[in-house]
Amino acid sequence: MSIFSTPHENHSSWRRWLLTDTPTSRNHARVASFYQGWLSFKSNPMAMFGLLILVFLAFVAIFAPILAPHDPFTQDLSNRLAPLASEGHFLGTDSLGRDILSRLIYGARITLYIVLLVALIAPVAGLFVGTVAGYTGGWVDAILMRITDIFLAFPRLVLALAFVAALGAGIENAVIAISLTAWPPYARIARAETLTIRNSDYISAVKLQGAGPLRIIMRHIWPLCISSLIVRVTLDMAGIILAAAGLGFLGLGAQPPSPEWGAMISEGRKFILDHWWVATIPGLAIFMVSLAFNLLGDGLRDVLDPKDSGS
């Protein structure tokens, strides 16, 4: 590439390098694959819309102290249940005179906290259980899959309620309870992927090189399961958010005065007829974030699913 090349020529050269069918190294192949996947994802406007919503949510959560116009915990009983667009309170106030917009902004932090923790715990647990069951087979597979079936037999929210009742109310216990109910689908997916590749030629070659079962599972099977799990995680986030909001609504999640969206809906339901915005606004926030994760998941499925003929 000449140092006298114009920016347009440089851009064209980089694009040809990224879109090549003959990568020169493993890293080149990875970068080119990522770029081509990004181009495919970017061509889906609904998926991009979902991504933008989630980027905005992350921005709001990170800069909540700067963006929030008021302290989310400060009460002003003289200005309780102020309407929308009232002076100093764009989204009104709740029954204790707290600014709804500020509580909504700080509530984004709690939502992301729950989503990130569950996304780190449940898929990893499910991946480990599923790949061990699929690769080992026999009685180990039978026992692990029967345990998985027991968890799958109960509705997620009902099971989460049982775990929270045993562990006690609180946001950390809610995260643990949701994670304990969310891992079985990942285990099923990981097991199915493992069963399709455990007898493949390259796994046999790795065995001949002396690799043990744990190394084969972690180094050679897990990477092939990641794309399916990523798609499933993004599609499950809406259900996880709703489960967390349901626990908060019932008083078993984040505890007052924490500005958790489910707890805000629970408080606002008492005034739903005369002061509808107190419960409706946090409900709309949950709806938008859940929709964003679903749209993002659909877009990632189109890009990452190797069995999709359109990808």
Domain assignment of residue 24, yes or no? no
Q: What is the mean pLDDT of the chain?
A: 84
- pLDDT for residue 309 is more than 70: no
Please, which pLDDT band fits residue 305 given cuts at 50, 70 and 90?
low
Domain assignment of residue 282, yes or no? yes
State the angle between helix axes of 100-136 and 277-304 in degrees (0 to 180), rounded to the nearest 10.
30
- % of the chain exceeding 70 in pLDDT: 91
CA 237 to chain centroid, in Å, comes to 4
Structure tokens at 57: 């949510």
User: What is the spatial distance between Cα 287 and Cα 187, in angstroms, rounded to a whole number?
Assistant: 28
pLDDT 10s digits, 52-108: 999 999 999 999 999 999 898 888 888 888 888 888 888 888 888 899 999 999 999
Residue pair 285/133 in contact (Cβ under 8 Å)? The answer is: no
Please, which pLDDT band fits residue 208 given cuts at 50, 70 and 90?
confident
What is the total count of domains within the chain? Answer: 1
Quote the pLDDT of residue 10.
53
Burial of 297 (0-12, 13-18, 19+ CB in 10 A): buried
- pLDDT for residue 292 is more than 90: yes
Taking only Cα atoms into account, the Rg of the chain, rounded to an integer number of angstroms, comes to 24
Structure tokens at 227: 């794309």
Domain assignment of residue 94, yes or no? yes
3-state secondary structure of 246: helix
Burial of 211 (0-12, 13-18, 19+ CB in 10 A): middle
Quote the pLDDT of residue 282.
92
Burial 1-26 (b: 16+ CB within 10 A, else e): eeeeeeeeeeeeeeeeebeeeeeeee
pLDDT 10s digits, 107-124: 999 988 988 898 889 999
Burial 233-263 (b: 16+ CB within 10 A, else e): bbbbbbbbbbbbbbbbbeebbbeeebbbbbb
**pLDDT: is 31 or 147 the higher one?**
147
Average pLDDT estimate for 203-227: 81
- pLDDT for residue 225 is more than 90: no
Domain assignment of residue 176, yes or no? yes
pLDDT 10s digits, 242-281: 888 888 888 888 888 888 898 889 888 888 888 888 889 9
User: What is the spatial distance between Cα 278 and Cα 266, in angstroms, rounded to a whole number?
Assistant: 10
**pTM exceeding the 0.85 threshold for the entire prediction:** no
Domain assignment of residue 3, yes or no? no
Domain assignment of residue 228, yes or no? yes
Average pLDDT estimate for 25-46: 78
Instruction: Identify the domain containing residue 265 by its residue range.
Output: 44-69+80-304
Quote the pLDDT of residue 57.
92
Q: What ranges in the chain are assigned the alpha helix state H?
A: 7-18, 26-42, 45-62, 64-67, 100-136, 138-152, 156-167, 171-197, 201-208, 213-216, 222-249, 261-268, 277-304
Domain assignment of residue 36, yes or no? no
**Which residue type does 163 have?**
F
Average pLDDT estimate for 15-41: 73
Domain assignment of residue 26, yes or no? no
3-state secondary structure of 86: strand
Which domain CATH number covers 219? 1.10.3720.10
User: What is the spatial distance between Cα 254 and Cα 246, in angstroms, rounded to a whole number?
Assistant: 11
- Mean pLDDT check: name the lowest of 21-30, 152-161, 219-228: 21-30
- Mean pLDDT check: name the lowest of 98-102, 206-210, 288-292: 206-210
